[in-house]
Amino acid sequence: MKISPSSRRLLPWAAAILLSVAVTFGIIEATRLSLEHDYQDTLKTEATRRGFEVMAQTMNGNVMGAVSALGLVDQPIKRVARGEIPLNTPVVMESLQAIGQIYEANGAYLVNPDGIIKSSWDTVGVPLTGVDVNFRPYFQIAMQGKQNIYAAIGTTTGMRSLYFAAPMYGEVSTNAPIIGAVVARLGLERVDSVLRAWSGPALLLSPQGLVFASTREDWIESLAGQCTPERLQAIRTLKQFGKIFDSGTPRTLPFDLTSDIVSIENRRYAVARTQLQWNDPNGPWTLVLLGDLDRLMPASLRTKIGLTSGLLMLTLSAAFLIWRQRLRFANQERQRAEAELKESAYKVRESKERLDLTLGATGIGIWERDLHQHTLTWDQATQAILGLPTEEMSGHREIFLERVHPDDLERMREETRQAIAGVRDYSTEYRVIWPDASQHVVATRAVVLRDEQGVATRMIGACWDITDTKQREQLAFLGSEVGDALTSFKPIQERLQLCAEALVSQFDAALARIWTVNEVESILEMQASAGIHSQTDGTRSRIPLGQFKIGRIAQEGRLRFSNQVGAEPDVDDKEWVRQHGLVSFVGHPLIVEGRVVGVMAFFSRTKLNPDAVHALAGVAKTIAVAIDRDRAERELEEAREAAEAATRAKSAFLANMSHELRTPMNAILGYSEMLMEDAEDQGQEDFIPDLQKIHTAGKHLLGLINEILDLSKIEAGKMDLFLESFDVAGMINDVASTLQPLIEKNANTLQVHSAPELGSMYADLTKVRQSLFNLLSNASKFTQNGTITLDTAPVLRDGVKWISFRVADTGIGMTPEQIDKLFQPFVQADASTSRKYGGTGLGMTITQHFTRMMGGEISVASEPGAGTAFTVLLPAKVEIKPEAPVQPEAAEPKLPGLNTVLVIEDDPGARELLTRFLTKEGYRVETAAGGEAGLRLARELHPDIITLDVMMPGMDGWAVLSALKADPELADIPVVMLTIVDNKNLGYALGAADYLTKPIQRDRLLAILEKYCPASEPATVLVVEDDTATREVIRHLLEKTGIQVTEAENGRVALERLALGQPTLILLDLMMPEMDGFQFVDYVREHEAWRAIPIVVVTAKDLTPEDRLRLNGYVTDIIQKDARGQEELLAEVSKMVKIRLKKSALKTGDGSA
C-alpha cells in the first residue's frame, strides 16, 4: 500500500485518533464491564436479601410461628385431637379463627394423624372439615416433625395459595408424639409484596421451574426453560398447581434464566437467584431478580465519549474521570445493598416479633435465649406476661430474672440448668412480680437447640399466664386447709387466724382479715389478720356496721370484688395500695341462715379470676358456720354457767338456811333432853312422854334439814365418794336392825332375803346404807299393816358383777304421773302426801344421786293400791369416774430400784410389826416415831411412799400430812393414812393417797403399796469421780438404796462406759485428769442417744459465771461440795439422785403414754 506524505502526516493523527477512539471505546467497554460486574455482585446480595424477606414472611414468619406455637402448646387443640372435646368447641374455633383473622389467612385447620381435617375455619366457604389431605406433602412433612411452606394452586378455585403447616404435639414438648398437623392457608400477598419492592422484574420459581409469582403478570404460570413432555408430566403428577397444564402447551419464559445476563425486549438484564428452603420435598424454591444493565451506561454517555474522542487526553482523562466516578457509584451501591442486607436481617427478627405479637392474642409469648451471650429476646406477648420493659425487646437475662419471685428463682434456675444439661425438658411454672408489684403465675416450656457437637446454643420457649388456673387449684387447697383449721380444737380466734393464714399462703393474699359481727354493739370486731399485718387490735379492729368497705359488706350482705383497687373510691390509702403492689380486693360477707355473722376480706397482688372469687363463697360459708356454731356454743356455755351459778347460789342459800335452822334446833333438842334428864332425876316421870314428843319432833325436823343439806351438797358438787370394801350381808343386817323400830311403827313386817354368795362390795358404805334407809323408811311410811321385803342378790351384767337391792312394799302405790315426779327434788307424789305423810320429798332424789354417783341406777315399779318396788343396782366394784369429785393421786411411775417406805408411827409395837412385814415383802423400810422426825426423814430420804399414823403425840398425822403436801419437794410422795379414827374425808381433803383403818388389813396395805410403787428395773448410776475414796462412798450409799452403780475415774473412761450401756443418771465430778467434766458434758451432748441422760454435777470447784454458762442447759443439777460435811453432802447427793431418777422415770412414763 502506498501512503502519501500527507497521509503519513495524518497517519499519526489518524492513528492517534483511531487509537484514541479505540482507547476511548476500550475505556468505555472496560468501564461498562467493570460496572456490570460490580452490579451483578450487588444484584446477588439484593437477591439474598429479598430471599431473607420472603423467608421472614413465610418459613420464619409470624404465621409459621403462630401455627407452630399452636401445635406445640395449645391445650384445647390437643384435647380435640385426643377426642376429649368436640371438633366445633368454641375454644378451638377461637384459636383457629384468631390465626386466620390476625394473619389474613383464608383458612386454618387441624389435621388428625390419618390426614383428615378435624376442625377448620375459613373465609372461602368451601367446607374443609372431613377433607382428606393425607397425600398432601405439607401434611406428610409436618407429620415428620418439620414445619413447611407449601405453595399450590387450587384444583377447583385456581387460586394460588401458601400453606403454612406445622406438627401438632401430644404434649407440650417437641419430644412428644406428633398427633397431627396445624395448617394455615394464605394468599400470595406476603410474597408479592417482597417481589414488588424490587425495582426490576422479579419472580418466584418452583423446584420444577414453574413461575409461581412474578412482578410481571404475563410471566406467571409460565415455565422457565424448554417445555419437554417429561417436565409437563412430572408437574401434572404433582397435582400441586391445579389444572393449568392439563390441556395445551404451557407458555415458556422468553429468555433463559440459567444465564447470568439475558436480553428481554432489547434490554439487557443481569440475573440473580437465591434459594428458599421451604421444606418442599421436591427441593428448594428459587427467587429470581432481574437487574437492568443498560441503565448502568446510558447511550448519551457513550455519544459524549465518542464526541470527545478527538481530544484523547481530554477524552482519556474524561473517561478516566467517569470511570472513577462510576466506580465510586458502584461502591456506594454495594455498600447500600450491604446495609440493606443488615437491615433485612433485623427485619427478619422484627417480623418474628410481629409473629409473637399475634401469638400474644392467644396468650402465648415466645422467647429465645442465647446461651453464649446470655441474652434474651422476647416478643410483645412475653413482655406483657413477664412485665418486662417495653422499650427493649432483648437484653441480658438478668432483666428477666429480676422479675421472678425470689422464692421461685433458685428452683427455676436449677430447672434451666437441667434442661441445658439434657437431663429433662424445660417445663416449669413460676411467679413473676411486675414493676407495679402485682404478682402473676407463668407457665413456660422450651426446647434447647444444640450444634453439631451437641453443645446447647439456644433455648426457644413459649410462655403463658396461668394465674387463673392456679387460682382454681389454690381454691381447692384453701378449702381443705380452712376445713382443717376450723375443725381443730382451738379457740375460735386461733381457728380464724389459721383461715386467714391459709388465704395468705394458698391464695396469695397480701393481707387477709376476718371480722365477726357483734350484734349488741352493731360493730364488726377483727378476729384474725394475716399477711402484711398480723395484729388484730390496730386500725379497723372495730368497724361500725355500714361504715367503710367492710362495714358495708356486712350491712349489704353482698360480695365486693375489684381487680383494680388502685382506682377504687372506697380505698382511701392509695399510697399503701401502691407500695404493697395490691391489685385486687375481695370481701365476702359471712352468712348463716340469712344472718351476716362476719366478713372475710383480703387484698391480693394478683388479679383474681371472677369465677374463683365467687367460688370463695363456699369457703366463706364454712367459716360463717364455724363462727356461728362457736357463738351458739358460747351462749350455751354461758347459759350453763349461769344455771350452775344459780344452783350454787341456791345450795349456798340452803346451806345457810340449814345453819340458821340448826341453831334453834340445837336449843330445842338440848333443852328437851335436859328437861327429860331433870324430870327423871326429880321423879316427875309424867312429864317425860311430852318432852319425848318435843324431842322426837325436833329430831324429825333435824332429819328434814339434813336431807336438804345433803341435796345442796350434792348440787354444789361437794358430795364426795369414799370407796371401801365391806361385807354386803353384814351391811344389810345392820340396816335391817336399825330400821326395825320404824317398820314396826306402822305395824309392818320386814322380810330380808339375801343371796348366799353376796360376798363383799367396794363402794361408799355410808351412801349405800343411806340409800337403803331412804327406800325402807319410804316403804314403811306409805304402808300400813303390810309387808316390806328387802331382796339382795348378785347380778352378772356384761361379765361384771353388780349387786341388786330390791325394796318392795304392799302399800298405797303410785300412779304413773306420781312416778314421773318421784325423783324431782322438792316435789312429792302430790301436795296432800306431804300433809299426810310428811317428809321433804328429797329422800328419793338423794337416793338417786347417790346411786348414780356410784355408777349404778335406780328403777321403780308401782301401781296404785298394789304397792311399790324400788330396785337399786350398783356395781360390786365402784370406780370413780374422771368427773367424780374425788381424784385419788394418780399412780406415778416408780423410782427404779428398791422401793423405800417411810413408816411414821408413834407406837413401837405397830412400827416393828409394819417394818417386819414390809421388809419381808421386799420394801426398804425407814421408820420415824413422830411427826417431826417423819418430816425430817421424808426430806432426807425422799421415800417412795409414806404410811402415816394419825393419832400421835405432838405433831399429829394431820399436821404431818399438811406439811408434806405443802413442801413442793415432798408433795408428790403418796401418803397412806393408818388410823383408828375413821376420818377419810379429812384425809383425802388434805391430800392423802389412801386411807386404812386399824387394825391394818395386810393385803389391803400391800395392794396400796403395789399401786403406788410398782416393781421396776433397778436404776443405774454412772459415778464419774477421780477420787477413789469418794467414789467408793457414793457407790455404797447408792447401792444401799438398791441402785446399781458403775464407776469411771475420768471423762474418757466414762465415755467408754457410756458406749457399753446407758445409765439412768450420771453423777459427775468436774475436775478430773485426762478428760474433765466440762469436756465430758460436751461429748455427751453431741450424742443424740445420750443427750437425755440427766447429769448431776458434784464439785468442789467454785463455779464462775462462765462455767455455769458452759454447763447451763446441759446439766440437771449442781451440788457444791463446799464446806459441808461428807455426810450432809452424801445425803444431798442421794436425795438429788432420787429426785432426778423419779423425774426421768415420770418423763419416760409420759412419753410412752
CA distance 838 to 108: 105
Residue with cell 441402785: 1043
Which of 196, 411, 659, 797 is the binder for another protein (CB under 8 A)?
659
Name the minimum Å distance from CB 887 to another protein. Answer: 14
Name the minimum Å distance from CB 658 to another protein. Answer: 7
Contact 31, 323 (CB under 8 A): yes
Beta pairing partners, 867:
863
Report the amino acid identity of residue 895.
Answer: L
Which of 655, 755, 1006, 1100 is the binder for another protein (CB under 8 A)?
655
Q: Rule CB under 8 A: is residue 692 a binding residue for another protein?
A: no
* Residues 337, 341, 343, 347, CA torsion sign: positive
Cell of 940: 432426807
User: Quick one: DSSP state of residue 430?
Assistant: E
Report the amino acid identity of residue 458.
Answer: R
Cell of 1140: 432426778
Which of 14, 30, 649, 667 is the binder for another protein (CB under 8 A)?
667
Q: Rule CB under 8 A: is residue 674 a binding residue for another protein?
A: yes
Which of 347, 662, 821, 965 is the binder for another protein (CB under 8 A)?
662
Name the minimum Å distance from CB 906 to another protein. Answer: 13
Q: Which is nearer to another protein, 397 or 662 (CB)?
A: 662
Residue with cell 428481554: 264
Q: Which is nearer to another protein, 109 or 850 (CB)?
A: 850
Q: Which is nearer to another protein, 675 or 752 (CB)?
A: 675
Name the minimum Å distance from CB 687 to another protein. Answer: 17
Contact 339, 50 (CB under 8 A): no
Which of 109, 219, 507, 958 is the binder for another protein (CB under 8 A)?
958
> What are the percentages of helix, strand and coil residues in the chain, rounded to 5?
45, 20, 30
Which of 548, 671, 687, 1114 is the binder for another protein (CB under 8 A)?
671
Name the minimum Å distance from CB 903 to another protein. Answer: 23
Q: Which is nearer to another protein, 117 or 719 (CB)?
A: 719
Q: Which stretch binds another protein (CB under 8 A): 164-172, 284-292, 712-720, 1079-1087?
A: 712-720
Binding mask 980-1019 for another protein (x = CB under 8 A): ---x-xx--xx-----------------------------
Q: Which residues contact 888 (CB under 8 A, 6 or more apart)?
A: 880, 988, 993, 994
Q: Which is nearer to another protein, 601 or 705 (CB)?
A: 705
Name the minimum Å distance from CB 643 to another protein. Answer: 21
Q: Which is nearer to another protein, 898 or 986 (CB)?
A: 986
List the interface residues with another protein, window 919-938 (CB under 8 A). none
List the interface residues with another protein, window 125-164 (CB under 8 A). none
Which of 658, 847, 868, 1144 is the binder for another protein (CB under 8 A)?
658
Q: Which stretch binds another protein (CB under 8 A): 600-608, 672-680, 1088-1096, 1139-1147?
A: 672-680
Q: Which is nearer to another protein, 671 or 687 (CB)?
A: 671
Which of 737, 962, 1001, 1016 is the binder for another protein (CB under 8 A)?
962
CA distance 585 to 605: 9
Q: What angle do CA 123, 128, 132 make, to 5 degrees?
A: 150
Name the minimum Å distance from CB 950 to another protein. Answer: 11
Q: Which is nearer to another protein, 337 or 711 (CB)?
A: 711
Listing from the earlier edge strand, what are the strands of the sheet with 1044-1048?
A: 1044-1048, 1020-1024, 1065-1068, 1095-1099, 1117-1120
Q: Which is nearer to another protein, 21 or 701 (CB)?
A: 701
Q: Which is nearer to another protein, 160 or 767 (CB)?
A: 767
Q: Which stretch binds another protein (CB under 8 A): 323-331, 432-440, 714-722, 1097-1105?
A: 714-722
Specify the pairing of strand 724-727 against strand 542-544. unpaired
Contact 383, 359 (CB under 8 A): no
Report the amino acid identity of residue 205.
Answer: L
Which of 340, 673, 791, 921 is the binder for another protein (CB under 8 A)?
673
Q: Which is nearer to another protein, 12 or 885 (CB)?
A: 885
Phi, psi of 1088 (to 5 degrees): -50, -45
Name the minimum Å distance from CB 954 to another protein. Answer: 11
Q: Which is nearer to another protein, 453 or 663 (CB)?
A: 663
List the interface residues with another protein, window 1068-1097 (CB under 8 A). none
List the interface residues with another protein, window 615-654 (CB under 8 A). none
How many chain residues bind another protein (CB under 8 A)? 32
List the interface residues with another protein, window 457-516 (CB under 8 A). none
DSSP 829-881: S-HHHHHHH---S-HHHHHHHHHHHTT-EEEEEEETTTEEEEEEEEESB----
CA distance 45 to 53: 12
Q: Which is nearer to another protein, 454 or 683 (CB)?
A: 683
Q: Which stretch binds another protein (CB under 8 A): 116-124, 292-300, 619-627, 661-669?
A: 661-669
Which of 292, 568, 720, 830 is the binder for another protein (CB under 8 A)?
720
Q: Which is nearer to another protein, 116 or 657 (CB)?
A: 657
* Residues 928, 929, 933, 934, CA torsion sign: positive
Q: Rule CB under 8 A: is residue 770 a binding residue for another protein?
A: no
Contact 872, 858 (CB under 8 A): yes
Which of 300, 663, 682, 1104 is the binder for another protein (CB under 8 A)?
663
CA distance 1139 to 869: 57
CA distance 112 to 134: 9
List the interface residues with another protein, window 964-983 (CB under 8 A). 983
Q: How many residues does the chain have?
A: 1153
Name the minimum Å distance from CB 480 to another protein. Answer: 51
Contact 1097, 1070 (CB under 8 A): yes
Q: Which residues contact 770 (CB under 8 A, 6 or more apart)?
A: 846, 847, 850
Q: Which is nearer to another protein, 674 or 1007 (CB)?
A: 674
Q: Which is nearer to another protein, 506 or 658 (CB)?
A: 658
Q: Rule CB under 8 A: is residue 700 a binding residue for another protein?
A: no
CA distance 891 to 534: 44
Q: Which is nearer to another protein, 283 or 717 (CB)?
A: 717
Which of 361, 665, 679, 1000 is the binder for another protein (CB under 8 A)?
665
CA distance 326 to 296: 9
Contact 160, 184 (CB under 8 A): no
Neighbours of 962 (CB within 10 A): 13
CA end-to-end span of the chain = 143
Name the minimum Å distance from CB 888 to another protein. Answer: 16
Report the amino acid identity of residue 230.
Answer: E
CA 804 to chain centre: 57
Beta pairing partners, 877:
762
H/E element, 525: strand 523-531
Q: Which stretch binds another protein (CB under 8 A): 346-354, 431-439, 718-726, 847-855?
A: 718-726
C-alpha separations of 593 from 352, 590, 621, 624, 1148 in Å? 58, 10, 10, 10, 51
Q: Rule CB under 8 A: is residue 766 a binding residue for another protein?
A: no
Q: Which is nearer to another protein, 421 or 989 (CB)?
A: 989
Binding site for another protein (CB under 8 A): 655, 658-660, 662-671, 673-674, 677, 702, 706, 709, 713, 716, 718-720, 958, 962, 983, 985-986, 989-990
